[in-house]
Amino acid sequence: MEEQEFLTQVKQCHGLILKLIGLYAYSLSDRNDLYQEILLNAWKGRAGFRKEAKFSTWLYQVAINTIFTANRKTKAVSYSDAMEDFVIPVVPQTEQKEDVQRLYAAIRQLAEIDRVVITMHLEGYDNPEIADVLGISANYIGVKLHRVKNQLQIILKQD
* 81-101: pLDDT as tens digits: 444 444 444 444 566 678 888
CA–CA gap between residue 30 and residue 86 (Å, rounded) = 12
Report the number of distinct structural domains present in the chain.
1
Per the prediction, the chain carries an average pLDDT of 83
Q: What percent of the chain has pLDDT over 90?
A: 36
Alpha carbons within 13 A on the beta-carbon side of 36: 6
Which structural domain, as residue segments, surrounds residue 123? 3-158
State the pLDDT at residue 155: 93
